Amino acid sequence: MRKVSVVAFALACLGTFAVLAPAQEAAKTAQAPASGIPTIDQSLEWPSAFNPKISPDGKRVVYEVQKTNWEENAFERNLWIGDIAGGEAHALTTAKKSSTNPEWSPDGKWIAFLSDRPAQIAGTPDGKKQLYVISVEGGEAQQVTKAENDVSDFAWAPDSKRMAFSMTDPETKAMKDRKEKYGEYSVVRGDYQMTHLWIVEFSSGSPAAVEPKRLTEGDESSVGDFSWSPDGTRIAFSAERDPDLISIGTADLYVVNVSDKAVKKIVSTAGPDRNPHWSPDGQKIAFETAAGSQYFFYANSRIGVVAADGGAVQILTESFDEDPSLIAWGPDGIYFGALQKTAAHLFRLNPANGTVEKLSSPDEMAASSFSFSRDYKTVAYRAALDNQYAEVYTTSVAPWQGKKLTAMGEQLKGFTLAHREVLSWKSGDGTTIEGVLYTPPNFDAKKKYPLLVVIHGGPTGVDQPVVNADRYYPMERLVAKGALVLRPNYRGSAGYGEKFRSLNVRNLGIGDYADVISGVDSLIAKGFVDKDRVGAMGWSQGGYISAYITTFSDRFKAVSVGAGISDWTTYYVNTDITPFTRQCLHATPWDDPEIYWKTSPISSIAKARTPTLIQHGENDKRVPIPNAYELRQALEDRGVPVKMVVYKGFGHGITKPKQQRAVMEENEKWFAQYIWGEKPEERKPAEPKKDEKKSTAAVNP
């Protein structure tokens, strides 16, 4: 079962394995040979490997490889499968569109996955994610569902003959009749389409599916995570009162009997209870819980355990000071992943006494997407070390000896890339802040460099000293041009414990700015930063902090605000996730208008002097675009140089390569003008890629 963190509302060694094909294939279609400084297009084209899943016998791994399709203007993924011992690997799927979320059948014969490829079954809606099954030996994938809406998630039953899947209910007849009579309209907080569970069985154990059967009903809850009991008779699931993000705190745990569809609520605490995993004997269920905290957006979540029939909840990770991401309950303990400052690791929890053991190594590794063999002795995962590109690895759980399964980093050979280093400094109130500093390979501490601050979102994101393909901000090119880049893990960032995440509560912007400017000052004090050439940029919460810099400070020569908040009241009444603001400011704007005003960039607009680029998705629901228009108009009224770019059809993220190309070019030119003093030029349409249709070559959204 895949998992999305509660706080992800913005809102990422040793040995080798001959899976070079994805990287080699990309090199053939790249804009130019891998040498020197990567172009924006080359960075957008770098393939990456994701979501490894190890076979039940621990001998093979299936994983996703993402590549860029310029013709379709899409980042697309297909599945690859590799043999751990022998080193052979090949593409398992090659269909148009994407194939993602692979899961092995427990008997190891089949791999199920989701895909929006052209459908095989007549009557399937175009472009919807359907469930497919393919033999591990290859061949043609077979479509299992023809859902009206996307299949959200799925899980194999232990017998490999059934699968449970979730999808949003289709439009009701009453809704269709209303639309026919009155046309299109919607009732806010009223017109919901719930997500429910379905079961599909396979004929004689083959992938030929029979008609799915609905397992859960009603309009009083919407299903989230789920998992099968070891004996295949029950499914544990989380459900919220409705699918609105504002209802995330209402998630509780339930168990449904597959035979008679009887549902029983087994956990109901304040805050979200979710991501259930059964004990090997089927007697208990482990899950993630807010443990009653009303401030679950920044407080630690916990791992709790409850009897499968319900009862008292036992909290097991009270002393673990980070958010544990529950993975599985194996024969020797409960496994979870968690951040540790700029690293990320695998842990094992003893359910008998609550002791926690870190399993993965080395310490500086940033690892995720852990997947276990049936006996829990072998694990596949995705990881990167400092200054390395992420790869897929396998290892025995003990001793941990990571063996690299992919060679995605090979595509970077010949490029001159920035060096990443973790450093720390003291903020204004004495808090220790860490960040990642990018320097050029020929860095000379006796010289003075421009400094560009790139601020992550979240706020519970975290920047790590690993190599990723640039998105939104062309950091490699900015460093190659002569700048240093600082990526601060300001207060509120994940990986540093609950107290640190709480430091910007009722202190948003104010404390964040102190962390940023103290980092800038610490580098200036070292003597290698030109204090007169400092800029800042960021997206989402990073855009908010950048907007705060624009209005609050005259220390920066240029700022880029991406999908940022300018006015917390404007944000509160428009966003799809209002509980976040109430929790971080401990009030609504009607209860405490002063704190909403004090922490809003717009409150300091009279002091604004900094040239500001604003970038925003037209249909952003997380940080709605009125925030951008408000900041733009206020800056214009004050005579501050401002440029606003709206990306048509996009929400909070700009998710397609051509528009990401536009975002990065806008940022590169903005800072070239104000940091390096270059004359601004109108952007010319990019030359189309050889596989890019001329009719779709327009870059400006």
| Model pLDDT for residues 573-582, shown as the tens digit of each residue | 999 999 999 9
Q: What span, in angstroms and rounded, lies between the C-alpha atoms of 278 and 330? A: 9
pLDDT confidence of residue 305: 98
Mean model confidence pLDDT for the chain: 92
CB atoms within 10 A of CB 557: 20
CA separation (Å) from 546 to 552, 560, 638? 10, 7, 18
CATH tag, 419-696: 3.40.50.1820
- Print the SS3 string covering 656-667: CHHHHHHHHHHH
pLDDT confidence of residue 208: 67
Supply the angle between the helices 626-637 and 541-552 in degrees, to the nearest 10.
10
- Print the SS3 string covering 480-504: HCCCEEEEEECCCCCCCCHHHHCCC
Q: Where do we find the tokens 């001959």?
A: 18
Q: Is the dihedral of CA 555, 556, 561, 562 positive or negative?
A: negative
pLDDT confidence of residue 372: 98
Closest CA to 293 of 309, 315, 308: 315
DSSP structure class, residue 632:
H
pLDDT confidence of residue 481: 97
Q: What span, in angstroms and rounded, lies between the C-alpha atoms of 365 and 282? A: 34
pLDDT confidence of residue 297: 95
- Per mean pLDDT, which range of 33-37, 154-158, 438-442, 470-474 is the poorest? 33-37
What kind and span of H or E run contains 674?
Answer: helix 657-674
- Print the SS3 string covering 64-77: EEEEEECCCCEEEE
CB–CB of 111/151 below 8 Å?
A: no
Give φ, ψ of 519 to 5 degrees.
-65, -40
Q: Where do we find the tokens 């603001």?
A: 581
Q: Residue 160: CA atoms inside 13 Å, Cβ hemisphere, count?
A: 16
Instruction: Work out the percent of the chain whose per-residue pLDDT is above 90.
Output: 88
* Predicted confidence (pLDDT) at residue 82 exceeds the cutoff of 70: yes
Dihedral angle, C-alpha 410, 414, 417, 419, nearest 10 °? 80
For residue 15, name the pLDDT band (cuts at 50, 70, 90): very low
Amino acid identity, position 480: A
Q: What span, in angstroms and rounded, lies between the C-alpha atoms of 616 and 348? A: 41
pLDDT confidence of residue 87: 76
Domain with CATH 2.120.10.30 in the chain: 220-359
For residue 4, name the pLDDT band (cuts at 50, 70, 90): very low
Q: How far is CA 362 from the centre of its chain?
A: 24
CA angle 645, 482, 479 (to 5 degrees): 60
pLDDT tens track for 451-500: 999 999 999 999 999 999 999 999 999 999 999 999 999 999 999 999 99
Peptide bond connecting 47 to the previous residue in cis, omega within 30 degrees of 0: no
CB–CB of 63/80 below 8 Å?
A: yes
**What pTM value is reported for the model?**
0.92
Domain with CATH 3.40.50.1820 in the chain: 419-696
Q: Residue 463: CA atoms inside 13 Å, Cβ hemisphere, count?
A: 25
Cβ burial, residue 197 (10 Å; 0-12/13-18/19+)? buried
* Predicted confidence (pLDDT) at residue 74 exceeds the cutoff of 70: yes
* Predicted confidence (pLDDT) at residue 700 exceeds the cutoff of 60: no
CATH tag, 220-359: 2.120.10.30
pLDDT confidence of residue 267: 97
For residue 89, name the pLDDT band (cuts at 50, 70, 90): confident
Q: What span, in angstroms and rounded, lies between the C-alpha atoms of 306 and 149? A: 33
pLDDT tens track for 488-536: 999 999 999 999 999 999 999 999 999 999 999 999 999 999 999 999 9
Closest CA to 659 of 44, 33, 166: 44
CB–CB of 453/489 below 8 Å?
A: no
Q: Where do we find the tokens 């540093």?
A: 496
CB atoms within 10 A of CB 370: 24
Residue 56 token pair: 């039940």
* Predicted confidence (pLDDT) at residue 683 exceeds the cutoff of 90: no
Residue burial 157-193, b: 16+ Cβ < 10 Å; e: rest: beebbbbbbbbbbeeeeeeeeeeeeeeeeeeeeeebb
Q: Residue 413: CA atoms inside 13 Å, Cβ hemisphere, count?
A: 9
Closest CA to 379 of 348, 341, 410: 348
CB atoms within 10 A of CB 32: 10
What kind and span of H or E run contains 274?
Answer: strand 273-278
pLDDT tens track for 112-166: 999 999 999 998 999 999 999 999 988 899 999 999 999 999 999 999 999 999 9
pLDDT confidence of residue 203: 76
CA separation (Å) from 624 to 243, 292, 566, 574, 642? 19, 30, 10, 6, 19
Q: What span, in angstroms and rounded, lies between the C-alpha atoms of 431 and 516? A: 12
Q: How far is CA 82 from the centre of its chain?
A: 25
